Amino acid sequence: MKITPLSIPDVLLIEPQVYHDQRGYFLESFNQARFEQQLGRPVHFVQDNHSHSVHKVLRGLHYQLGKPQGKLIRVTQGEVFDVAVDLRESSPTFGQWTGGILSAENHHQLWIPEGFAHGFYVLSSTADLHYKATDFWYPQGERTLRWDDPAIAIRWPLSQTPIVSAKDEQGHYFESSDKYA
Ligand SMILES: Cc1cn([C@H]2C[C@H](O)[C@@H](COP(=O)(O)OP(=O)(O)O[C@H]3O[C@H](C)C(=O)[C@H](O)[C@H]3O)O2)c(=O)[nH]c1=O
């Protein structure tokens, strides 16, 4: 397992060891002991999610007040551009974004700790995203930051206007967004 901090160092790119043979491949998609050893702190996941999306779907940018979720994200089919936005007011990278390509081919995973908004854009005809969360879904605390907020200026690899949910269309802008302490 190779761990690389991204431009926001608390967001980690995780490259699992992939064991190829004539049958195909095997990898450990999650190992509690290794993950905690790399992170240097205990992490407890309580919910697994699976979202399936078609080409040009953009989901996000979402976060939860009250029950912030750390997320360990991977793609098992297709390819997405995955993004995290730092909403931790005390952070030197507050308001900045980072991210990268997660795909079934590269097996890359992202660890996005609590205190971030998360979103992704689907680059392939369809994509299956599987992610573990460190707290339960808390709809009362759900918030959406606009994916196209010029104050964050995410360089989405868009080919054309993305497919966005009505909820995400009504997302708010960063200057009025909630912050994590
Ligand atoms: C998030 C969630 C949703 N739902 C239900 C609620 C809706 O009936 C349906 C679709 O929910 P939503 O449109 O909020 O799904 P996404 O737009 O993919 O939301 C997710 O997108 C970004 C990228 C995330 O990181 C979050 O996990 C989450 O906000 O699933 C549940 O039952 N449990 C859940 O944990």
What is the per-residue pLDDT across 104-149, written as a single tens digit (0 to 9) for each?
999 999 999 999 999 999 999 999 999 999 999 999 999 999 999 9
Distance between CA atoms of residues 36 and 44, nearest Å: 9
The alpha carbon of 93 is separated from its chain's Cα centroid by a whole number of angstroms, namely 17
ipTM over the 0.95 cut-off:
yes
Distance between CA atoms of residues 121 and 30, nearest Å: 23
User: Is the C-beta atom of 138 inside 6 A of ligand 1?
Assistant: no
Do residues 114 and 69 make contact, with C-beta atoms less than 8 angstroms apart?
yes
Q: Residue holding tokens 């868009």?
A: 158
- Choose among 26, 76, 15: nearest CA to 51: 76
- Choose among 134, 131, 112: nearest CA to 46: 134
**Domains, the chain:** 2-175 (2.60.120.10)
Distance between CA atoms of residues 15 and 162, nearest Å: 28
Residue 63 CA, ligand 1 centroid: distance in Å: 10
User: Is the C-beta atom of 143 inside 6 A of ligand 1?
Assistant: no
* CA-based radius of gyration for the chain: 16
Point out the ligand 1 atom lying closest to the alpha carbon of residue 136: 35
Distance between CA atoms of residues 38 and 177, nearest Å: 31
Point out the ligand 1 atom lying closest to the alpha carbon of residue 167: 13
Q: What is the pTM for the complete model shown? A: 0.96
Residue 104 CA, ligand 1 centroid: distance in Å: 21
Catalytic center residues: 62, 131
User: Is the C-beta atom of 59 inside 6 A of ligand 1?
Assistant: yes
Residue range 142-177, pLDDT digits in tens: 999 999 999 999 999 998 899 999 999 999 998 876
Amino acid code (one letter) for 151: A
